[in-house]
Amino acid sequence: MSTDRMRCRVADARVRSDQRETLEDLIYKLFERRHHDYVAGQEKDWLTMELIQSLRRESEIYREELSTQTHGPLPFALGYFRLHGDTLRLTTDEVPANVEGRTLVRFLSEFLEPGARLWFGGEEGSGWEIRGRDELRSLPDAQADLSSQKN
pLDDT band for 3, please (50, 70, 90 cuts): low
Sign of the C-alpha dihedral computed for residues 36, 38, 41 and 43 taken in this order: negative
Count Cβ neighbours within 10 Å for each residue of 81-114 and write b for 16 or more, e otherwise.
Answer: bebeeeebebeeeebbbbbebebbbbbbbbbbbe
Residue 124, pLDDT above cutoff 80: no
The pTM for the full model equals 0.86
Segment 21-32 mean pLDDT: 94
Q: Which helix (H) or strand (E) holds 82?
A: strand 81-84
**114 with 133: CB under 8 angstroms?**
no
Say what the pLDDT of residue 36 is.
65
